[in-house]
């Protein structure tokens, strides 16, 4: 095409634009509101005022120095190094013949406020919206286009206040739409962002699966590396869930807290791609045992990341969003070399540690794919890597997913190694336990044999000692019993008794009472013979004991010349010939009762009562009761120096104790003074319990 043709084409193109560009003034846009308007570029007719000092006053709105500064407009995202606080002014005239509305759209920004004329020469705020202002309003994505209304032939001026705090400003282009084309524009944006949102949701689902698997594995095999990996995955889930908040026309998981996406933006990058990998790698690779120097570097790096995260959260709370971005940019640039050195050092040790491969591949996935994304990125981002991570494209998503999968595979392989090691250790323990059991069995057998021998020897020794002890006790008891029985015989057949009996016999002879003398002499000889016979026996029948006591008491009654009486009562149920009692056990008590019971001056005749009762089938009770002076008075008389000291009762008591020890009989003797119970009564009660063997 030659030059005249080109000039003609240019003139025709300018003529075609005349209906849309006719303006009554330089800063006034004349538009037919009834004609289609599809994204009309308004940069040349939009006034701009930079409110850097934030000294805006509603009364001064009309007098603000607006300029035609097209440098503030940009069709793509761009970095911000300070807060962008601007005012836009749009003066528009409806050249059409009908009253209708158009839509003024500039993009999605942090804070936006649309001012319209109120009819009285002033302005009022019609719409206030923005990514940082509409808390909990999930419909806020439809509020970023503002209505422009003008009657036919009417001219109106509108103002839009835009404040962007974030370190990256979204697209800022003033355009004009009619209602139909604005709806098409929204649908195009919705379709575009739905694809990215779908990818993010799929990624979140996969990360949730990894998180659940990791937590399940941790319950079966507790390990700190699994906890760090779970925290890393959880941080990624929150990070990408908050990314949905930046996608227009999408329903975010955190739409009630839209500010979370600003607080958890750069801290999430440090947390997910620096802090957690450092902590995870430190424990996962067991650097403290294998590579102490690298362990210290990883530990100090993790501390630095944690400090930066807390610092960034504090700065965000103060409303500053550019400073953390700049700090992170420098941190990212300076961390590339140390991280590269550490990865290179680990790569040289993959032969010695198989887990290094998984950690190395996971770390390199994010590093290399983020570098690739930086190289092929179409937006002018400079040497700043924040844009790729805060608004990740598919390459970054692939790198993050690859890192998570490699880390998860490494954990599975590590758990497998731990399981194999535990299995091997358990097998070794089982083998050692079997050897120990075999050794224990042999030792037990030897010990049993030794114990059996020692037990046999001990039993033999004990038997010998027991036999010797029994023999010695039998000898001692026999000796003591013999001595006591001898004393008992002497106590029973004492010279005084024999002398009294012989005197009585002599008296009967002198009185020529030969019949009584003969009976007395016969009973006396029977008594002497039975006493000698019983002295050689330990037990005699109850019938023999009663006959012996009857003979003895008959002699005593004849000697006292009928001044005493006695009675022996036997329970009818008692078989006297079958029951046995210790020989010569009762006679000393009966003699003592006769001696002290017949000399009571308060009674003209002494009374002695002997009763035998069967308390139980194996217990015999013998009660000896007299009406004499009593045991206490008798003891008082015996304590006098000139009085005769009787030891028959004491000997019987000692003999009963010996019989209890030798035959385990359990004989019990109880002596009761009747005056202790009733002062007007006197006498003694001897109660003897004799168990039957």
Distances (CA, A) of 512 to 217, 494, 500, 504, 507: 126, 27, 18, 12, 8
Same domain, 165 and 285: no
- For residue 120, the enclosing domain spans 3-177
Same domain, 219 and 281: yes
Same domain, 35 and 147: yes
What 8-state DSSP symbol labels residue 576? T
- Which residue, of 362, 385, 419, is where some domain finishes? 419
Distances (CA, A) of 279 to 176, 274, 276, 303, 359: 52, 9, 5, 10, 12
Distance of CA 615 to the CA centre of its chain: 65
What 8-state DSSP symbol labels residue 646? P
Lowest mean pLDDT of 17-31, 74-88, 189-203, 516-530, name the range.
Answer: 17-31
- What pLDDT, on the 0 to 100 scale, is given for residue 370? 73
Lowest mean pLDDT of 264-273, 486-495, 550-559, name the range.
Answer: 486-495
Same domain, 165 and 286: no
Same domain, 156 and 232: no
Same domain, 276 and 217: yes
Residue 516 lies in a domain: no
| CATH number of 637's domain | 3.30.565.10
Give Dmax over CA atoms of the chain in angstroms.
203
Q: CA torsion, points 59, 65, 67, 69, in degrees to nearest 10?
A: -90
- What pLDDT, on the 0 to 100 scale, is given for residue 386? 47
Residue 247 lies in a domain: yes
Residue 287 lies in a domain: yes
pLDDT tens sequence across 139-157: 656 678 899 998 888 888 8
Same domain, 610 and 653: yes
List the structure tokens of 302.
Answer: 């993790």
Distances (CA, A) of 273 to 236, 303, 372, 445, 627: 9, 14, 17, 64, 115
Same domain, 118 and 225: no
Split at pLDDT 50, 70, 90, the class of 621 is: very high
Return the number of other C-beta atoms located less than 10 Å from residue 656's C-beta. 20
pLDDT tens sequence across 419-451: 888 888 888 888 888 888 888 888 888 888 888
User: SS3 for 249?
Assistant: coil
User: SS3 for 693?
Assistant: coil
Q: Is there a contact between 244 and 250 (Cβ–Cβ < 8 Å)? A: yes
| CATH number of 401's domain | 1.20.1070
Lowest mean pLDDT of 24-28, 62-66, 312-316, 683-687, name the range.
Answer: 24-28
How much is the average pLDDT of 363-377? 73
Residue 439 lies in a domain: no
Residue 466 lies in a domain: no
What 8-state DSSP symbol labels residue 628? S
What 8-state DSSP symbol labels residue 177? E
Same domain, 207 and 98: no
- Which residue, of 387, 419, 451, is where some domain finishes? 419
Residue 451 lies in a domain: no
DSSP bridge partners of 160: 88, 114
pLDDT tens sequence across 17-40: 443 333 333 478 888 888 888 888
Residue 57 lies in a domain: yes
* C-alpha torsion sign, points 276, 278, 283, 285: positive
- Which residue, of 177, 211, 232, is where some domain finishes? 177
Same domain, 252 and 352: yes
What's the total number of domains in the chain? 3
- What pLDDT, on the 0 to 100 scale, is given for residue 496? 57
Same domain, 121 and 200: no
- What pLDDT, on the 0 to 100 scale, is given for residue 14? 45
Q: How far apart are CA 663 and CA 666, in angstroms?
A: 9
Q: Which of 79, 102, 593 is nearest to 385 (CA)?
A: 79
Task: Report if pTM > 0.85.
Answer: no
Return the number of other C-beta atoms located less than 10 Å from residue 202's C-beta. 12
Same domain, 570 and 666: yes
> How much is the mean pLDDT over the chain?
79
Q: Is there a contact between 295 and 287 (Cβ–Cβ < 8 Å)? A: yes
For the chain, the straight-line distance linking the first and the last C-alpha, in angstroms and rounded, comes to 150
With helix as H, strand as E and coil as C, how does 101-170 read?
Answer: EEEEECCCCCEEEEEEECCCCCEEEEEEECCCCCCCCCCHHHHCEEEEEECCCCEEEEEEEEEECCCEEC
* C-alpha torsion sign, points 191, 194, 196, 202: negative
pLDDT tens sequence across 276-329: 999 998 888 888 888 888 889 999 999 999 999 999 999 888 888 888 888 887
List the structure tokens of 553.
Answer: 């008491």
Q: Is there a contact between 89 and 141 (Cβ–Cβ < 8 Å)? A: no
Residue 505 lies in a domain: no
């Amino acid at each position: 095409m030659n030059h005249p043709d080109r000039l003609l084409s240019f003139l025709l193109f300018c003529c075609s634009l005349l209906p849309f560009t006719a303006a009554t003034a330089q800063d006034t846009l004349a538009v037919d509101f009834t004609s289609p308007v599809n994204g009309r570029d308004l940069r040349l007719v939009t006034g701009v005022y930079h409110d850097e000092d934030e000294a805006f006053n509603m009364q001064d709105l009309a007098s603000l120095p607006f300029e035609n500064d097209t440098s503030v407009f940009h069709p793509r995202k761009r970095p911000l190094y300070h807060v962008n606080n601007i005012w836009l002014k749009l003066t528009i005239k409806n050249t059409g013949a009908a009253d209708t509305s158009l839509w003024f759209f500039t993009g999605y920004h942090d804070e936006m406020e649309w001012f319209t004329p109120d009819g009285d020469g002033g302005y009022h705020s019609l719409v206030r919206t923005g990514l940082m202002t509409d808390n909990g309003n999930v419909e806020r994505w439809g509020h970023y286009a503002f209505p422009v209304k003008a009657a036919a032939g009417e001219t109106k001026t509108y103002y839009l206040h835009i404040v962007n705090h974030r370190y990256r400003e979204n697209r800022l282009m003033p355009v004009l739409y009619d209602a139909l084309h604005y709806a098409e524009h929204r649908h195009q944006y919705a379709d575009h962002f739905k694809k990215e949102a779908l990818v993010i949701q799929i990624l979140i689902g996969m990360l949730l699966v990894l998180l659940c698997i990791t937590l399940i594995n941790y319950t079966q095999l507790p390990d700190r590396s699994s906890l760090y990996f779970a925290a890393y995955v959880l941080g990624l889930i929150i990070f990408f869930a908050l990314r949905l908040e930046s996608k227009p026309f999408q329903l975010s998981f955190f739409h009630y807290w839209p500010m979370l996406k600003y607080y958890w933006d750069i801290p999430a990058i440090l947390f997910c791609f620096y802090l957690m990998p450092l902590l995870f790698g430190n424990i996962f690779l067991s650097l403290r045992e294998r590579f102490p120097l690298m362990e210290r570097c990883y530990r100090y790096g993790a501390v630095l990341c944690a400090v930066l995260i807390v610092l960034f959260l504090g700065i965000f709370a103060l409303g500053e969003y550019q400073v953390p971005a700049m700090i992170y940019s420098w941190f990212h640039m300076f961390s590339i070399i140390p991280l590269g050195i550490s990865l290179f050092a680990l790569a040289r040790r993959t032969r010695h540690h198989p887990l290094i491969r998984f950690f190395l591949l996971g770390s390199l996935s994010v590093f290399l794919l983020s570098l690739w994304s930086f190289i092929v990125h179409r937006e002018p981002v400079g040497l700043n890597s924040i844009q790729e991570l805060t608004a990740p494209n598919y390459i970054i998503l692939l790198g993050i997913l690859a890192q998570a999968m490699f880390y998860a595979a490494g954990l599975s392989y590590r758990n497998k190694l731990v399981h194999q090691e535990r299995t091997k250790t358990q097998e070794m323990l089982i083998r050692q336990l079997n050897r120990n059991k075999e050794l224990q069995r042999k030792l037990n057998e030897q010990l049993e044999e030794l114990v059996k021998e020692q037990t046999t020897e001990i039993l033999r020794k004990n038997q010998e000692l027991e036999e010797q002890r029994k023999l010695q006790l039998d000898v001692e008891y026999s000796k003591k019993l013999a001595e006591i029985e001898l004393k008992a015989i002497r106590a029973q057949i004492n010279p005084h008794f024999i002398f009294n009996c012989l005197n009585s016999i002599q008296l009967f002879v002198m009185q020529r009472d030969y019949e009584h003398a003969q009976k007395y002499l016969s009973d006396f000889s029977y008594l002497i013979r039975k006493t000698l016979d019983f002295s050689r026996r330990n037990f005699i029948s109850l019938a023999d004991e009663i006959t012996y006591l009857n003979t003895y008491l008959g002699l005593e009654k004849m000697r006292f010349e009928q001044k005493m009486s006695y009675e022996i009562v036997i329970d009818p149920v008692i078989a006297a010939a079958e029951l046995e009692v210790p020989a010569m056990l009762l006679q000393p008590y009966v003699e003592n009762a006769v001696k002290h019971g017949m000399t009571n001056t308060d009674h003209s005749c002494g009374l002695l009562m002997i009763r035998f009762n069967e308390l139980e089938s194996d217990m015999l009770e013998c009660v000896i009761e007299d009406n004499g002076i009593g045991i206490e008075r008798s003891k008082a008389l015996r304590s006098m120096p000139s009085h005769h000291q009787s030891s028959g009762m004491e000997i019987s008591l000692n003999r009963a104790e010996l019989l209890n020890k030798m035959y385990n009989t359990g004989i019990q003797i109880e002596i009761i003074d009747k005056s202790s119970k009733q002062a007007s009564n006197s006498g003694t009660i001897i109660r003897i319990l004799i168990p039957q063997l």
